[in-house]
Amino acid sequence: MRKKKIGIYICLTLKYLFAMLFPILAVTVHKMTWRYIAIALAEVLLIAFLTNLLCRVKTWLGYLFNALALLLMNVQFAVLFWGSTFVSVIMLANLDSVNAISGKFFVYGLSVTMVLLFTFLPVCSVPGGKRADLALGITTGVLYAGVLLTGIITYSPYRAVYTLCQQQIARSRTISGGAVSTAGSAADGGISDIQQEKSEFYSDAVSDYVQKPEEIPEKPNVILIFAEGMSQNIIDDSRNIMPNVSALQDASISFSNYYNHTFATYMGLSGQLYSGYQLENYDVNNLVSIQDVFKSYGYRTSFINTEPQNKEFSEYLANFDFDSLITDESRTDGMADAFSDKAAYEMLLETALEQSAEEVPFFLAMYSFGTHATLDGVHEIFEDGSNALLNRFYDLDIQVGAFMEAFQESKLAENTVIIFTTDHAAYQDADYMTAFPDYARDYPSLDRIPLIIYYKGITPESYDVNGRNSLDMVPTVLDFLDMSAQNSFLGDSLFASDSTSSYDTYFESVGTCFCTAGGEVNILSAEQLREFEKQLAKYNAVKLSDDLLYEEYEESVHFYAKVNDEQTKILTELYNADTWDTISYAVWSEEDGQDDLSWTVAAGNHESYFPYEIDLTGFDTSGVYFVHVYGSMEEGEMTFLQEAKVYVNQETDQ
């Protein structure tokens, strides 16, 4: 019996010593504040004191309290050690993507096993009777009083649980607020409410702050690349981890002090493509996206899926409504059943070359998975290969370099713009803190990120955007390409010296909010937070609503015209005029005014893309010609749609 008691005392000691393990490791390995050790010691003593009192009443009661209290504490500090914060709403929201952290399955699994093993060891009351209880109580009281007086309580894992619950409640309130507003749109009198909310976010055009460079064709192909989780400091690091991306940035238009506006991937991809926010990972956004705008200009739109075996991710991408999702399961040579970055960039090049052979311009987007947290480099290693984080970013860099070299040698370079960015900042986990011990981060999910615009013949330039964020990516790209459309973008072009956006310095992810104005990360004031949550609920209602939505967001009609090589015909391209039964063209020369006005009538084909040839026979085929296009329904009046100017047998050919 005595040996059994001694064994339980040993188990009790081991339980409390293990509870100090992860906070000590976090402070010593990752140079976190010593306050985590102080609060851990205070709360271990408090747990021991309360466990002892309960065990003197009923041993099972003490064991139940002890196990639950230590389980919560051990889990929190284990997550702190591996992930740099206590359990967050963001982590809980992304539990369904656990396969993405497969690179650490063994060490994470070992941590979980140890937590469970030591947490559920047996307990008993300590020997010594009332004197021991009194001594333990006084020690605990003094230490915890010091914790309260010095403010160290803010580092408590239990306080973090309380904060987590508050954030979850606030998030549920924001989501339900949007749901109520959406539901109201279908009720009596609700339509006006939802329409009013739509008007708050609606704009009839993309602001034009910069002129498209003359070197870029009228409708260039566009490649948009999202690299998984990349912060700007990785590119800038003195160890030359990413020399190819750094060189690309130096040779391009780039933006400094530019932040991610949300986290993680599901939020980041959708949030950027629609210039908006996501409240849930799988929310559908029914507003206008960058791919919608490209479609309205007659582009073919495609997205390369580098995770074809991830059913949830594939369905998520399908909701973006690109013309096609492109993938190949035979290329999943990377970790977590995904493409390696080498396979991804090889497929990107092949797809771009294939699509460039077609007459229709393309907008091609891709998200590369290989730099996801916990993964290692697949095809390349950095220096001796001992650091998995540096390996995976170096591996990506090599693949970007190979892609750009092949791109420059191909015909793509003559008519293609490349946009290189990331879905969100690199997550500041244990690996990140080990790799960049001297780089200070204000929050693990928020940081400066790259945005690069490249085309052949570009004049490199860097814009300091002073803390603005990735809500501005889409308006910036469209502004740069002189493309416009009705939209509900929350961001504004980064080419604007003063943003008109009320949101593009606000980071939000699963209820966590910060402000990056001025290039500094700050907590929102209570008033700012209330107003932002209110607007976020409205935006959520608008983007989820599909009733009457596209009465305001019809795709614009676009018209292009040029002469053929023989200078005998005007070749026209008409987009988004598929509702008209008849298309009519009015043609006349600048020299004769409208004295030589000629009409050509064509039956509409009720398709989005309508090519047509106008014969120049009967005209003096030299000079400037004007072409106006009209649409009409059967037995209806003609409606003016668009106009174009063409140059025949002249040096200037537009």
331 with 339: CB under 8 angstroms? yes
334 with 378: CB under 8 angstroms? yes
CA distance 105 to 20: 23
pLDDT (tens digit, 9 = 90+) per residue, 103-162?
677 788 888 899 999 999 998 887 767 777 777 788 878 877 877 777 888 889 998 888
In a domain, 160, yes or no: no
Report the CATH number that the domain containing residue 243 is assigned in CATH: 3.40.720.10
Ranked by mean pLDDT, which of 171-185, 458-472, 529-543, 600-614 comes out on top? 458-472
Predicted confidence at residue 130, as pLDDT, reads: 73
Q: Which range, of 182-196, 219-233, 479-493, 614-628, averages the lowest pLDDT?
A: 182-196
Predicted confidence at residue 7, as pLDDT, reads: 81
In a domain, 509, yes or no: no
Predicted confidence at residue 302, as pLDDT, reads: 97
Q: Which range, of 21-30, 64-73, 164-173, 327-336, averages the lowest pLDDT?
A: 164-173
CA distance 30 to 24: 10
- Clarify whether residues 338 and 435 are in a common domain: yes
Predicted confidence at residue 496, as pLDDT, reads: 95
Predicted confidence at residue 593, as pLDDT, reads: 74
- Clarify whether residues 332 and 379 are in a common domain: yes
- Clarify whether residues 543 and 592 are in a common domain: no
- Clarify whether residues 80 and 109 are in a common domain: yes
- Clarify whether residues 580 and 539 are in a common domain: no
- Clarify whether residues 30 and 10 are in a common domain: yes
What value does the mean pLDDT take over residues 268-283? 93
What value does the mean pLDDT take over residues 507-513? 89
Say what percent of the chain tops pLDDT 90: 54
CA distance 456 to 94: 39
Predicted confidence at residue 6, as pLDDT, reads: 82
- Clarify whether residues 565 and 643 are in a common domain: yes
- For residue 252 the two structure tokens come to 């391009």
Task: List strand residue ranges (DSSP E) for 166-269, in order.
Answer: 221-227, 253-256
Q: Which range, of 301-310, 394-403, 617-626, averages the lowest pLDDT?
A: 617-626
Distance, CA of 195 to chain centre:
27
pLDDT-derived band at 188 (thresholds 50, 70, 90) equals very low
Mean pLDDT of the chain: 87
Contacts of 285 (CB under 8 A, 6+ apart): 270, 274, 276, 278, 319, 543, 544
In a domain, 628, yes or no: yes
Predicted confidence at residue 190, as pLDDT, reads: 44
In a domain, 92, yes or no: yes
Contacts of 172 (CB under 8 A, 6+ apart): none
In a domain, 654, yes or no: no
pLDDT (tens digit, 9 = 90+) per residue, 75-103?
999 988 888 888 877 777 766 666 666 66
Predicted confidence at residue 179, as pLDDT, reads: 54
Q: What is the CA radius of gyration of the chain?
A: 30
Predicted confidence at residue 597, as pLDDT, reads: 85
In a domain, 168, yes or no: no
What value does the mean pLDDT take over residues 330-358? 95
Bond from prior residue into 264 cis (ω within 30 degrees of 0)? yes
In a domain, 165, yes or no: no
- DSSP codes of every residue in 533-556: HHHHHHHHHHHH--SSGGGT-PPP
Number of separate domains in the chain: 3
Q: Is the dihedral of CA 413, 417, 423, 424 positive or negative?
A: positive
CA distance 419 to 465: 17
Q: Which of residues 121, 155, 189 is at a domain's end?
A: 155
What value does the mean pLDDT take over residues 356-364? 93
Please give the helix or strand (H or E) that residue 59 lies within, else none.
Answer: helix 59-83
CA distance 337 to 306: 9
Residue 285 identity (one-letter amino acid): N
Residue in 552, 533, 547 with CA at minimum distance from that of residue 488: 552
- Clarify whether residues 601 and 476 are in a common domain: no
Judge whether residue 553 has pLDDT over 50.
no
Residue in 515, 500, 412 with CA at minimum distance from that of residue 454: 412
- Clarify whether residues 455 and 573 are in a common domain: no
In a domain, 532, yes or no: yes
- Clarify whether residues 206 and 330 are in a common domain: yes
- Clarify whether residues 524 and 563 are in a common domain: no
Instruction: Compare 459 and 556 and report the one with higher pLDDT.
Output: 459
CA distance 324 to 364: 10
Judge whether residue 277 has pLDDT over 50.
yes
CA diameter of the chain: 116
- What is the span of the domain harbouring residue 8? 2-155
- Clarify whether residues 603 and 469 are in a common domain: no
